[in-house]
Amino acid sequence: MANVMVVHGAQDASEVPGIENLPSSVELRFAPNVDTLRAALPGAQMMFGWSFHSKEMREAWASADELKWIHWCGAGVDAVLFDELANSEVILTNSRGVFDRAMAEYTLGLIIAFAKHLPETLRFQGEKRWQHRLTEQLLGKRALVVGVGSIGREIAKVLGAFGLVVDGVGRRARDTDADFRKVHAVSELDSLLPEADFVVAITPSTAETFQLFGAKQFSAMPRSSYFINLARGVVADESALVAALRSGEIAGAGLDVFETEPLDAASPLWGMDNVIVSPHMSGDFYGFDNVSMEIFLDNTNRFLEGRGLRNVVDKVAGFVPST
């Protein structure tokens, strides 16, 4: 029996670097859209989600008659984790670990940019305006990282090495932790916000994290604090965030994710001097696709040989549990 794999989100092999390294026993079917996905799924045991934004699998689910395993090329699996899949026996794996360092560096870059007033400096440069100013020193500043998975932990390591004091917020509290000064339970979030200079959201997108940050949370943060969202746009109430930025309840925001992507040209976030907008790129670096493919290729061999897979997602929780 052929080992059939559907590659969703690609027209052909030329769009997926490294896929030629799959075992010759694997028959590939490319499905760039929902119609081709429906046609490709019957008889397929494996699926590779190359377009991590795509939500078309839900529409094509009824065609998946022999599917056993899906590998998702992103770290977040909210686009593919619908009820029918969650309640099935299909194994879901992801690219956990690939983006950790890049996102940690990006977080540090945003924090440095805000502390050293780099957006303002670039704006003044464009105006040919010479204006001396004082900036913040980061040593001893307090960062609260909301989400203590592999990315959150790498952020804690990088910020800690830079001299910030880093606490984490996870599902459960623990007094001792290898990467955070302390991990607090998410139920403590509101009480922690008044002490944070930088709040970094890096939670998975689940029902529990939907609009975790709203008007109440932004009003609890110091007026000198910054909100950084590298998780998913729905983790924050965008209208409440805009209001907090306009009123000065928080000093600024670094946003890599939004409720609707691409961000609408009419969004007020584009024109705010205290906001850095980026197009969901914080984890992407030169060569990231090759690193991600290494995990996928290894998992393909494991699947074909009947061995345990790497990065198995807990489909109830919505993420790969930390070891």
> Could you list the active site residues?
232, 261, 280
100-277 belongs to CATH 3.40.50.720 = yes
DSSP β-bridge partners for residue 167: 144
Neighbours of 296 (CB within 10 A): 24
Dihedral of the alpha carbons of 200, 203, 209, 215, in degrees to the nearest 10 = 10
Distance (Å, whole) CA 313 – CA 310: 9
Distance (Å, whole) CA 105 – CA 187: 28
Distance (Å, whole) CA 144 – CA 155: 10
Residue 290: CB partners within 8 Å, gap ≥ 6? 17, 18
Which amino acid is located at 87 in the chain?
Answer: N
Q: What pLDDT was estimated at residue 102?
A: 98
* CATH level 2 (architecture), domain 3-98+286-305: 3-Layer(aba) Sandwich (3.40)
pLDDT digit of tens for each residue in the chain (323 aa)? 579 999 999 999 999 999 999 999 999 999 999 999 999 999 999 999 998 888 999 999 999 999 999 999 999 999 999 999 999 999 999 999 999 999 999 999 999 999 999 999 999 999 999 999 999 999 999 999 999 999 999 999 999 999 999 999 999 999 899 999 999 999 999 999 999 999 999 999 999 999 999 999 999 999 999 999 999 999 999 999 999 999 999 999 999 999 999 999 999 999 999 999 999 999 999 999 999 999 999 999 999 999 999 999 999 999 999 76
Q: What pLDDT was estimated at residue 1?
A: 55
Residues of the chain with CATH 3.40.50.720: 3-98+286-305, 100-277
Q: What pLDDT was estimated at residue 52?
A: 80
Distance (Å, whole) CA 107 – CA 229: 9
Question: Which pair of structure tokens corresponds to residue 306?
Answer: 């009947």
